[in-house]
Structure 1
Amino acid sequence: MGSAARTGGRGAAGAARASGQAFTRLAGRLKSARRPGADIEAVSAATAPAPSTAAAVPRAGRAGRLSRRPILLAVLALVALPVTLLAGLVLYSFVTLPPLGGVVPEAGQRALTVEADDGRVFATRGAFQGQKLVAADLPPHMAQAIISIEDRRFRSHWGVDPRGLLRAMWRNTSGGGVREGGSTITQQYVRLTSLTQEKTLRRKIQEAFLALRVEATMSKDDILLGYLNTAYFGAGAYGLDAAARRYFGKGAKALTLPEAAMLAGLVRAPSQLAPTRNFGGAKERADVVLQTMVETAAITAAEADKARAQTITLRTPPETPPGTNYFLDMVSGEAKRLADTTGDVTVRTTLNLDLQSLAEGVVARRMDAEGAKKKASQAAMVVMNKEGAVLAMVGGRDYEDSQFNRATQAKRQAGSLFKLFVYLTAYENGFSTETVLVDRPVQIGDWEPQNSTGRFKGAMPLRSAFAQSVNTVAAQLADEIGIQAVIATARRLGVASELPNVPSLALGSAEVTLLEMTRAYAGVSAGAVPVDAHSVHAIRGGAPQPLYLRPETRSGTALPTEARAMMLDSLQAVVDGGTGKGARVSGMPVGGKTGTTQDYRDAWFVGMTPDLVVGVWVGNDDNSSMNRVGGGDIPAALFRDFVQRAAAQMARGRKRPSAARAEPAPARDVAPAAAGAAIRGVPEVVDTGTLAFRGRTVRLLGVDGEGGALARQLARYLRRREVACTAAAGAEAGPLRCQIDGDDLASLILAAGGARASEDAPADLLAAEEQARSERAGLWRRER
């Protein structure tokens, strides 16, 4: 009994403890239930009997495994999906492999070397090919240089080199820049010849497949030669031989070790490292190549040091005078039409570099001085001889800002410039300069032409009506002889633009180009039409026989002698006392015609001297009105400025540099030019007595330069304009005399007060300084 009682007491105590624990749990649930948002059903759940421990444990294990299964499936899916996609991409890349050699390298485009009329090379355009090399033409150190820097394991891998890729990544990361490439030479070769340049994973996969195929079908030497014959080396040079000729003036076979190292270093970044624009960067890269050649035992350290010490002489391409680009665009199109060949060609053009520089200078000065005030932002000029050879061309204010050629592409209403065709037709059909017509109100159909003055002058001879550009007389004349006859005359003289058969055509309502109008006036000057406006004399390829040679004489239809004489007389009357008085040049017979369109949107002047025909247009690209600028204003003044300077230049009889003396100035680290050699280019201003030409510093003879505001003013004046500097014959290397537009630059600077004359200044420069002193110009203004 006692034992049972003790047993029952212990059971009661255990039950009490269990009950106490249950109530404790219940109290906790109730407290939670009283909190905001608590669910009262949680209390019921808490009071429910708990499952036995033995049954609960297996069920919890199964539930855990089941809960982890979706996670495992998701992980497997995340791994399998990209692997499947990559496998599919690899398979697709393989199935769509392009054929080997299916891409035509850019070097297939034709390259132009462009000469002026006297044989001076002044520009190059396009991609240069050079000769395709064979194994015997490749210097051993060139092969070693390209292999050491681009693909050290080229001789041992099978087209793709993972180990080389990892090494390149390590060297580039630790070296702080690009020291080695990751792609093998074989991969680069197939990329150049068989793939597009898009940067996609598919292309990289195809590149690897094609590299393996090439390695299976070509020898290592053939792969290397193929790569060197197609790689781009900068400055328009495609292929090793083209690069050797472009930079060093020699074939690839004659390359020295330092030259080979420099070329090998270009292929990774040819545009940035081309030595003609970044000689220092190219030299640093060449030093890296020499070091890799030492590391690969291609050369010894002593040989590398010797190569670094050697001077590399560049034969730099000529610095294209910026204003000639408009003319070059015309040359490119004409050369393609005359000799449609895929090879590199040399084009002898009609351009006179001295006249070109004059044309650019007079347009820049006049428009800088008057353009903004008169709301005229653009101008164009064409200079040709009577045979139609284009001697100079200005297609706009700045080619870098706009490549649109306003001399050849812009079609604008000609205004009274078109009256040439009306009067010439009349003179060929019985009218004369003394025929009298009446300036009066006129109505032709619904059209009522008005004079620019709004007044009428009554009876007047045709010579005076043309000189004064009387609209009503021109309209009556065209109505009498017929607009169709006027159109026929314009066509005979070379106008190709659309000419509507309407009465207003007599006053220039048709849109034409400056080039075709200048060509038409040249026909009157020459007496035979049409004059063929042209920019090319000859085109030469690799063969001795020219691809094109312009005939000495061209057949044309002669203008009736009497009609031409009356037309020339009328043109001269315009300049002598008519609307073109602003074009008069003292001591020189000049004829021409003005043209002004409605609301002063276009202003023209085309004039002629015994030797030249010069066409000028001034206006705005957006066809907005100028501030009362007519053909007798800025255009006539531009004609006069140019013709006066051209005549003075010809009278001085200055001998232009020969083609032999016109070799382009060398780049940095090249020996200075010999005395008497010309340095020509667009300079940077160090101070008003010091210029920099592509890294070479030139001091102006007789000038102690000034910095600050005066230097900035000179920089604005010289902006993108060509300067030619020449050392006096027999003089030691030192200060040079420089010219711009035929004027001595030192004289211009000193006369404007831009600097002081130095102790070595000759008498003419001392006189220029004295002039500035007397006028208190420039720096002398502050020394009163």
Structure 2
Amino acid sequence: MANGRGRDGRGEPNFDVPEGRGAGRGGADLRLSRDDRPGGGVASRVRDGEDKGSRRAKPAAKSGARRSGGKKARRRSLLGRLVYAGWVLGLWAVVGIAGLIAYHASQLPPIDQLAVPKRPPNIAILASDGSLLANRGETGGRVVGIKELPTYLPRAFVAIEDRRFYSHFGVDPVGILRAIGQNLTRRGVAQGGSTLTQQLAKNLFLTPERSASRKIQEAILALWLEHKYTKDELLELYLNRVYFGAGAYGVEAAAQRYFGKPAKNVSVAEAAMLGGLVQAPSRLAPNRNLPAAQARAAQVVAAMQELGFITAQDAKVALAQPARPASSRGGGSANYVADLVMDVLDDFVGTIEGDIVVQTTIDTTLQATAEKALVDELNAKGGRYNVGQGALVSMRPDGAIRALIGGRDYAQSQFNRATMAKRQPGSSFKPFVYLAAVERGATPDTVKEDAPIKIGNWQPENYSHQYEGPVTLRTALALSLNTVAVRLGQEVGAKAVVQTAQRLGITSPLQANGSIALGTSEVTPLEMVGAYGAFANGGTGVIPYVVAGVKGVDGKVLYKRGEGGLGRVIDPNAVGMMNAMMHETFVIGTAKKGDIPGWDLAGKTGTSQDFRDAWFIGYSGSLVTGIWLGNDDGEPTKKASGGNLPVEIWKTYMSVALKGQTPVPLPGLNRWRKAPETTASVASAPNPGNILGQIFGEPPAPAPAPRATAARRPAARDADDRNFIEKLFGLGD
């Protein structure tokens, strides 16, 4: 190892160079000379001074020029480097933006698969005269074509939302820069840079999320929309999709919701308010913040005038007479009708694919009259009688509903009491008991005993706790004597009473027990009015209906109501007897103050236990109307009975509804009507009841029983009536 060889005889390399020698043992010098370095001998010679003389001999001017040229070169090099760097950065920015766009575009469906989604269908619900009652569906209004609208309406949106709409390609760089500039010079966000096309893209395809990602996708979709549709087509799509608040999507829905008119009829001021509303539908809704809505509309008017969309005179009028929302009476009772339509519509048309128009049987005049009669009465006397709610149903004898009020105020409660509230009908159920008896041989002149009766542990009483003794059925029904109704129910059987009511159209479950005769099983107002329709039309069973027909917006008939009903459910002779007995309710009975001169009327009042429900259902030969009053929680009223508030509402409404019509006779009434001379004989009879006969026109005592005296008549139930005679001898129901 001392000699540098290993055991195998091979030598180890040695890079040591002896001092002062140029090679190792092998004679190889591995060090670099000056000539071997970059620059070679030139560099060494310069350093060694070989060319010093030649450098000193160069003129000074040339030396200065060389130094000046070097500075310019260096300057050009710096500028070039900056330009180059900027170009490179710009290129990478373009690549980055393109990649970003490509990434977000990849999150969207392929362009060739994009399609504008269908707008949710609208159901326009019309009255019998073709006027709009309500819109139903997710949008709240039908689709309108841009050609249907006044020119200033779409221009209002262009003026305030996207004044360069007709010149940009979907994204407006100028508008974005302008918005940025205005936002920088104001506190908060003054303007947005989205075009109408971008807003449409957002409404059609994207969620309301606010993010850079969504804005990029919005721009991409806007470019696609601009490529696929014309400007007018885009504007039409926008006007039918944009949200205006209060559940209204589209300009038609908004015009109906806020101004109670179709979009084609809005004024310049109203168009400006609609145009300004889309910026903040909740904050600017005119029915919630009218000053803010009007201030925004003034801005729209100014923008429209500036762009030449309206004249100076138009602007002056619009600013002088700003738009105001239309008032909705009583919370909009037509909405109760609309709810009923939607409940039954599936039975007629099934799945709804596009906009449809539903023609109803509702008479707008009668609907408004009914609403006013009910609301006014409750406002005037509801507090005194502790009555909080009410319902009204009015229909033709064939079942066509002409007016329907489901409550005092739809805005406060959407529960439809006319169709859904099941309440005890009280004595208004008694006609079914009497009909069952008539069908088994009884007549209006059949005499029954009004006296105490006991069935097991149950002992029903008259309201007055007094009894008439022997009375005819027509008198017993007119005076609403409970014991006579219970006796009849016992004679015919509770099952027969239930079957009779069901045959006439009562569909709610009925309990076949003794108390059924007094109306203890719960029913709805719509059922009761429908059942009474058979008395008004001569014996044909009625199926109440509100939908007369359904069409598509293209006019195609999807449904048309034909002849229908339950067929004959009452014998004509029995109908005449029932009408004669219920007619006496208006002559001597509990609905006497509801009489309308010139008309043959019939009906029955009803009051449930503890005065929880007050009913009156009355009819002419052309119209059947029922009223229910009470409290939703079943709290007792303060002696509100069928003979007071319901009769008053009924008369107020029916007086208008029947005005100008030719009186229609009640079927079979004349055959069984009590003869006038009978009333005269009672008036001349020398007995204590003579004065009552003169006042109330009551019938004479049926032989062989004498009529009851005044002391035995029911006490008054109408706590509101101030007439002394009625207070003394008032008639219960």
Fold conserved between structures, TM > 0.5 = yes
| 1:484 partnered with 2:495 | yes
| 1:386 partnered with 2:397 | yes
Q: Secondary structure at the match of 1:437?
A: strand
Counterpart of 1:328?
338
Distance in 1 (alpha carbons) for counterparts of 2:271 and 2:461:
73
Task: Name the amino acid aligned to 1:325.
Answer: N
1:335-734 pair list within 5 angstroms: 335=345, 337-340=347-350, 341-551=352-562, 556-648=567-659, 650=661
Q: Secondary structure at the match of 1:512?
A: coil
CA contact (8 A) 1:160 1:208 kept: no
Task: Name the amino acid aligned to 1:609.
Answer: S
CA contact (8 A) 2:385 2:637 kept: yes
| 1:284 partnered with 2:310 | no
> What displacement does 1:571 show?
0.9
Q: For residues 535 and 213 of structure 1, do their structure 2 counterparts lie closer, same or farther at Cα, with a shift above 3 Å needed?
A: same
Counterpart of 1:668?
none
Equivalent residue for 1:180, pick from 176, 181, 191: 191
CA contact (8 A) 1:264 1:289 kept: no
Equivalent residue for 1:234, pick from 244, 249, 253: 244
The C-alpha deviation readout for 1:442-462, integer Å capped at 9, x for no partner, is 344554333322344443333
CA contact (8 A) 2:170 2:198 kept: no
> What displacement does 1:603 show?
0.8
> What displacement does 1:501 show?
2.8
User: Any unmatched runs of 5+ in structure 1?
Assistant: 1-89, 653-784
Task: Name the amino acid aligned to 2:336.
Answer: Y
- Number of aligned residues: 545
> What displacement does 1:592 show?
0.9
Q: For residues 475 and 267 of structure 1, do their structure 2 counterparts lie closer, same or farther at Cα, with a shift above 3 Å needed?
A: same
Distance in 2 (alpha carbons) for counterparts of 1:508 and 1:102:
62
Task: Name the amino acid aligned to 1:467.
Answer: A
Counterpart of 2:668?
none
Distance in 1 (alpha carbons) for counterparts of 2:469 and 2:309:
95
> What displacement does 1:616 show?
1.1
Distance in 2 (alpha carbons) for counterparts of 1:344 and 1:596:
45
CA contact (8 A) 1:102 1:193 kept: no
> What displacement does 1:413 show?
0.8
CA contact (8 A) 2:601 2:620 kept: yes
Q: For residues 195 and 447 of structure 1, do their structure 2 counterparts lie closer, same or farther at Cα, with a shift above 3 Å needed?
A: farther
CA contact (8 A) 1:233 1:263 kept: no
CA contact (8 A) 2:156 2:271 kept: no
1:40-55 pair list within 5 angstroms: none
**Cα RMSD (Å) of the superposition?**
4.8
Distance in 2 (alpha carbons) for counterparts of 1:579 and 1:465:
11
The C-alpha deviation readout for 1:109-146, integer Å capped at 9, x for no partner, is 4141523x334445555533425789xx9999969974
> What displacement does 1:215 show?
6.0
> What displacement does 1:273 show?
5.9
Distance in 1 (alpha carbons) for counterparts of 2:115 and 2:437:
61
Q: For residues 96 and 532 of structure 1, do their structure 2 counterparts lie closer, same or farther at Cα, with a shift above 3 Å needed?
A: farther
Q: For residues 362 and 614 of structure 1, do their structure 2 counterparts lie closer, same or farther at Cα, with a shift above 3 Å needed?
A: same
> What displacement does 1:598 show?
0.9
Q: Secondary structure at the match of 1:373?
A: helix
Q: Secondary structure at the match of 1:640?
A: helix
Q: For residues 274 and 109 of structure 1, do their structure 2 counterparts lie closer, same or farther at Cα, with a shift above 3 Å needed?
A: farther
Q: For residues 145 and 189 of structure 1, do their structure 2 counterparts lie closer, same or farther at Cα, with a shift above 3 Å needed?
A: closer
> What displacement does 1:318 show?
8.0
Q: For residues 616 and 257 of structure 1, do their structure 2 counterparts lie closer, same or farther at Cα, with a shift above 3 Å needed?
A: closer
Distance in 2 (alpha carbons) for counterparts of 1:406 and 1:221:
51
> What displacement does 1:555 show?
6.3
Q: For residues 616 and 176 of structure 1, do their structure 2 counterparts lie closer, same or farther at Cα, with a shift above 3 Å needed?
A: farther
Distance in 1 (alpha carbons) for counterparts of 2:557 and 2:338:
20
Q: For residues 617 and 629 of structure 1, do their structure 2 counterparts lie closer, same or farther at Cα, with a shift above 3 Å needed?
A: same
Q: For residues 582 and 178 of structure 1, do their structure 2 counterparts lie closer, same or farther at Cα, with a shift above 3 Å needed?
A: farther
| 1:130 partnered with 2:143 | yes
TM-score, length basis structure 1: 0.58
For the pair shown, the structure with the greater C-alpha radius of gyration is: 2
CA contact (8 A) 1:382 1:514 kept: yes
Distance in 2 (alpha carbons) for counterparts of 1:407 and 1:459:
38
CA contact (8 A) 1:229 1:238 kept: no
> What displacement does 1:511 show?
1.2
CA contact (8 A) 1:110 1:344 kept: yes
> What displacement does 1:239 show?
5.2
Task: Name the amino acid aligned to 1:537.
Answer: A
Q: Secondary structure at the match of 2:430?
A: helix
Distance in 1 (alpha carbons) for counterparts of 2:599 and 2:170:
78
Q: Secondary structure at the match of 1:412?
A: coil
Counterpart of 1:80?
none
Task: Name the amino acid aligned to 1:268.
Answer: Q
> What displacement does 1:269 show?
3.4
Task: Name the amino acid aligned to 1:535.
Answer: V
> What displacement does 1:620 show?
1.9
Q: Secondary structure at the match of 2:508?
A: coil
The C-alpha deviation readout for 1:381-437, integer Å capped at 9, x for no partner, is 222221122222333332322222222222111111111211112212223233333
> What displacement does 1:240 show?
7.0
CA contact (8 A) 2:436 2:497 kept: yes
Counterpart of 1:204?
211
Counterpart of 1:108?
120
Q: For residues 268 and 221 of structure 1, do their structure 2 counterparts lie closer, same or farther at Cα, with a shift above 3 Å needed?
A: farther
Between 511-520 and 436-445, report the one with greater CA deviation.
436-445
> What displacement does 1:249 show?
6.9
The C-alpha deviation readout for 1:637-693, integer Å capped at 9, x for no partner, is 2223333344445489xxxxxxxxxxxxxxxxxxxxxxxxxxxxxxxxxxxxxxxxx
TM-score, length basis structure 2: 0.62
Q: For residues 211 and 528 of structure 1, do their structure 2 counterparts lie closer, same or farther at Cα, with a shift above 3 Å needed?
A: same
